[in-house]
Structure 1
């Protein structure tokens, strides 16, 4: 009795199976699933961005029936307006303060809560809660806390035994610092998570070798751990700096741009100008902010990316 030999497999079987697998994968993930997301992106981002450039060169306003081409008249009027330059300076100061505070608080929290314990996990969640809260809600809460008859003055009066009546949001010099602290408090939980992720990627052997060589905690952090956090620093500094330059909601809820315009960011100026019916001028201001953010973003990211060369 002889065994029957199976016919030899065709050499094209494997390539054919691979083509069927690719076809099946394409059927499982069809490209037309991207159409809704692309439609939303085009309608709510690309088209408004294009019209932002177009309307900046027109005389569009609520006081005119037709929209006519105005050239660079809007830009000339804005440059002659001292409020624009003052708001640009305020926006830049506010962005720098937020970036410093947010990254400083986030890094300190990441170092304190680095150990993976139950208490630290609960604390991480608690510090991340403000990130998912509404920015307007955060602003109104702090506005109530920091008012002259608010909870903070009441607590200080109870602790010191004296009547405390400090206008925390009423000083033309320090109010912008207070508002920047509020902004940083809301987003420091996100920076904390990014820094925690960066700390977890640092090889333990490198840190242990430094400690065996006699390096203390600060020396190890300054010479080894912080340089290895370069990608996390790049992401956090860039997002906090550029995000705060587009800030509006927290400042609007806490001070409304006051006192005396000391916290009037450019977006608040845009909002107020648009509310006056000067649509073309408001669009021009938003275009100026867009250009300023772009000019600032590329050098900052380039400088921060150079720090990552130590990892390559």
Structure 2
């Protein structure tokens, strides 16, 4: 009778140091693409992490341009700023500005996405036109609108031609409405990005659900508000969060158009920090930037959590 010969598994007969079939060799592990991340991580560490750490350190010192020594002062900078009404005024202006930008940018972006949803040559061209401001420098956009909105600017000239008389409206000179105008400029610059986000959401919707709504006799308006808009919840979360948090860190548009005026009604916190640092009060400016960092972090968490909860409900 022939006895069956049992061959041991390959793993038990593999010599020591020989990798398993399909496993990366030592040379492959040494040349892994992750090593290419080191230059980027080094730049990120030098220009982001290290300054952020020093930001926390210098906020508790008396660093300024009027003395050569830097001494720790504890929470004196925070106490001094808490007693200053200017800081809280800038915080209030920053929150109002961020809220207005988030509303305008997302409303304009959603309207454009719905109007330009169909894929044809004209819509693609219009999408490209509305996305051009996103690629432009925010500072350049601010200076262009600052020239257009002067009392002797091009906008008043056009209105004068239409009404047949001289128009000298100070579009950036109102202590009540200037912040709304500047927020509209900021939203105009970034609404192309929101448009693309909402377009992506509209294009990835399940067509069987929309087809079922059409078969049931739902009108386009009812289909949008009862089916399509709820399905846009992830896009709304991303777009609203980026618009709100990005505008809280805004600087360029406000600096180019109003420089915080008139009467500091558009002086967002970054403008206040810029002025304070320019006066040589480095520790106070660092403390303000730390306050802004904490404010953004405290607002970001509940806003994103609320929007995520809305996604789960819908």
In 2, the alpha carbon distance for the partners of 1:310 and 1:224 equals: 13
Q: Return the offset for 1:218.
A: 1.6
Partner in structure 1 of residue 41 of structure 2? 38
* TM-score computed with the length of structure 2 as normaliser: 0.92
Does 2:101 align with 1:105? Answer: no
- Check 1:57–1:146 CA distance in 2 against 1; reply closer, same or farther (3 A cut): same
In 2, the alpha carbon distance for the partners of 1:267 and 1:222 equals: 38
The answer on whether the counterparts of 1:114 and 1:120 sit within 8 Å (CA) in structure 2 is yes
Q: Return the offset for 1:11.
A: 4.1
Q: Which runs of 5+ in 1 are unaligned?
A: 1-7
Does 2:149 align with 1:143? Answer: no
Q: Return the offset for 1:27.
A: 5.8
Partner in structure 2 of residue 60 of structure 1? 63
- Check 1:230–1:23 CA distance in 2 against 1; reply closer, same or farther (3 A cut): farther
* TM-score computed with the length of structure 1 as normaliser: 0.93
Does 2:223 align with 1:199? Answer: no
The answer on whether the counterparts of 1:227 and 1:307 sit within 8 Å (CA) in structure 2 is no
Q: Return the offset for 1:260.
A: 0.5
Partner in structure 2 of residue 16 of structure 1? 20
Further displaced range: 187-196 or 204-213: 204-213
Partner in structure 2 of residue 134 of structure 1? 137
Q: Return the offset for 1:164.
A: 1.1
Partner in structure 2 of residue 5 of structure 1? none
In 1, the alpha carbon distance for the partners of 2:193 and 2:253 equals: 17
The ranges of structure 1 where at least 4 consecutive aligned residues each deviate by more than 6 angstroms after the TM superposition are: none
Please give the per-residue CA displacement for 1:121-165, whole angstroms capped at 9, x wherever unaligned: 111111000001000000000000000111100111111212111
SS in 1 for 2:250: coil
Q: Which runs of 5+ in 2 are unaligned?
A: 1-6
SS in 1 for 2:309: helix
Q: Return the offset for 1:31.
A: 2.8
In 2, the alpha carbon distance for the partners of 1:11 and 1:116 equals: 57
In 2, the alpha carbon distance for the partners of 1:147 and 1:156 equals: 13
Q: Return the offset for 1:24.
A: 7.2
* Alignment RMSD: 1.8
In 1, the alpha carbon distance for the partners of 2:27 and 2:281 equals: 55
Please give the per-residue CA displacement for 1:183-211, whole angstroms capped at 9, x wherever unaligned: 00000000000000010110111111112
SS in 2 for 1:17: coil
Aligned pairs (5 A) from 1:160-175? 160-175=163-178
The answer on whether the counterparts of 1:140 and 1:253 sit within 8 Å (CA) in structure 2 is yes
Does 2:80 align with 1:77? Answer: yes
